[in-house]
Chain A
Amino acid sequence: MLKALAIYPVFDHVTEYSAKWCKKLIEHLKSKCKVVEVGGRRVKREEVEGYIKGEDPYIVIFYDHGREGAWFGSEGEHVIDLRNVSLLSGRIAYSMSCRSAKILGREAFKKKCKVFVGYVEDFVFNVKDEEIFCRAVNYGLIIWLEGEEDWINVKRKWIDYWNKLIDEADDPWTKMWLRHDRDSLRIIAEGVDEPETKCPARKTAVKLFGSAGWRISRETAVSVLFFAVGFTMAVLDVSRVLGEIIMLFSYTTLIYEYLKLILNR
């Protein structure tokens, strides 16, 4: 049976709404998977780390405030940020927090997070119609659990659902912010909203190796390049000794990078 960890800290007026929405999502989830709940109060970073390591959930749900590189457990504490984002590797991260898809989502994806659902802008809602916003944010995971495994289709159906809600809403203020939230939704997964890069080397790596190209560090790429240069110099007898030194240096760096990767896991 699938296991999910639902994190919904409460520490201000806004988080009361996000917690309420998360509880509604949990009601849906309970028939399909085992749900471990942490929330309704301030949540500490160690708690979340402990639950992820101990329970090993396939889905990590986070309903609370966020920013570009972090999810908040309380006013000043990040429960997940760039230092512990590798905890999301191999999992589905489903969040409604503001802006976290911008940097945290991209980094999570680089660290082998299967799917990161989040928003690139501030999440906005009209309190009078919070029920509509609740339905909108929860829908993605619900259709995935109902058997739509392809996240490309999930995104398509989800956007259609946002549009339906926009059309059905009576209040223009609600329509306006539903449109805003719909457009800032990102599903960072293979073939859906994969992160963009301006770096030509990264683009080549992604073309050659697919999503694994995102996980090749700059140090590794430079080491491989130097190894090739050293090898060519040694084989072509340009400068055998210098070539061998470059090869040895880059080989050592590669081993270091590999050990770093293993230790991070």
Chain B
Amino acid sequence: MHYFLYTHYLKKFLCTLSNYTYYSMEEVERVVLKYLMERPPDFKWVFGTQVFDKKTTIERFKKDAEFRKMIVENVIKLAVDLFTREIE
């Protein structure tokens, strides 16, 4: 019985967490996409050996989940970094 309750609440907690994470990510994704849309046509950036322009960045961001995840992770890491350095 205890085990059942434990797993039940754990699952519930994880679901809440994943929902929360999902909605937060969606929010960040929307902001990033808005930022990319507003870039000038000559927007260009280099990732290792690859060169991205505005069009390819938006396309990859919309279609490639891995790429989107990587960008969102970096946005969050920057936010955490700025926040951490501010309170130090």
Say whether A17 faces chain B, with CB atoms less than 8 Å apart: yes
Residues of A within 8 A of B45 (CB): 124-127, 173, 177
Residues of B within 8 A of A163 (CB): 85
A124-B47 CB under 8 A given contacts A163-B85, A172-B78, A176-B78: yes
Query: Is the Cβ of B77 less than 8 Å from the Cβ of A123?
Result: no
Say whether A14 faces chain B, with CB atoms less than 8 Å apart: yes
In the docked arrangement, what's the CA distance between A98 and B46, Å? 12
Measured CB to CB, the closest approach of chain A to B75, in angstroms, equals 6
Number of residues from A at the complex interface, CB < 8 A: 23
Residues of A within 8 A of B49 (CB): 12, 14, 65, 98
A183-198 interface bits toward B, Cβ cutoff 8 Å, 1 = contact, 0 = none: 1000000000000000
In the docked arrangement, what's the CA distance between A41 and B76, Å? 39
Query: Is the Cβ of B81 less than 8 Å from the Cβ of A179?
Result: yes
Interface set, chain A 1-57, CB cutoff 8 A to B: 12-14, 17
Query: Is the Cβ of A122 less than 8 Å from the Cβ of B47?
Result: yes
Measured CB to CB, the closest approach of chain A to B8, in angstroms, equals 38
Say whether A180 faces chain B, with CB atoms less than 8 Å apart: yes
B28-55 interface bits toward A, Cβ cutoff 8 Å, 1 = contact, 0 = none: 0000000100000001111111010000
Query: Is the Cβ of B35 less than 8 Å from the Cβ of A180?
Result: no
When C-beta atoms are compared, the residue in chain A nearest to B48 turns out to be A122
Query: Is the Cβ of B51 less than 8 Å from the Cβ of A13?
Result: yes
A135-173 interface bits toward B, Cβ cutoff 8 Å, 1 = contact, 0 = none: 000000000000000000000000000010010000011
A14-B35 CB under 8 A given contacts A128-B44, A176-B74: no
In the docked arrangement, what's the CA distance between A183 and B78, Å? 11
Of the candidates A14, A128, A176, A183, the one whose C-beta lies within 8 Å of that of B51 is A14
When C-beta atoms are compared, the residue in chain B nearest to A65 turns out to be B49
B49-78 interface bits toward A, Cβ cutoff 8 Å, 1 = contact, 0 = none: 101000000000000000000000011011
Say whether A91 faces chain B, with CB atoms less than 8 Å apart: no
Say whether A78 faces chain B, with CB atoms less than 8 Å apart: no
A125-B75 CB under 8 A given contacts A13-B51, A172-B35, A179-B81: no
Query: Is the Cβ of A17 less than 8 Å from the Cβ of B46?
Result: yes
Of the candidates B46, B74, B82, the one whose C-beta lies within 8 Å of that of A180 is B74
Say whether A110 faces chain B, with CB atoms less than 8 Å apart: no
Residues of B within 8 A of A128 (CB): 43-44
Query: Is the Cβ of A123 less than 8 Å from the Cβ of B35?
Result: no
In the docked arrangement, what's the CA distance between A177 and B44, Å? 13
In the docked arrangement, what's the CA distance between A125 and B43, Å? 12
Residues of A within 8 A of B81 (CB): 166, 179
A177-B51 CB under 8 A given contacts A125-B45, A127-B44: no
18 residue pairs of the A-B complex, CB under 8 angstroms, read: A13-B51, A14-B51, A17-B46, A65-B49, A98-B48, A98-B49, A122-B47, A124-B45, A127-B45, A127-B46, A128-B44, A173-B35, A173-B45, A175-B82, A176-B74, A177-B45, A177-B74, A180-B77
A interface residues, Cβ below 8 angstroms from B: 12-14, 17, 65, 98, 122-128, 163, 166, 172-173, 175-177, 179-180, 183
14 further interface pairs, Cβ-Cβ under 8 Å (given A122-B48, A176-B77): A13-B51, A14-B49, A17-B46, A65-B48, A122-B47, A123-B46, A124-B48, A125-B45, A128-B44, A172-B78, A173-B45, A175-B78, A176-B78, A183-B77
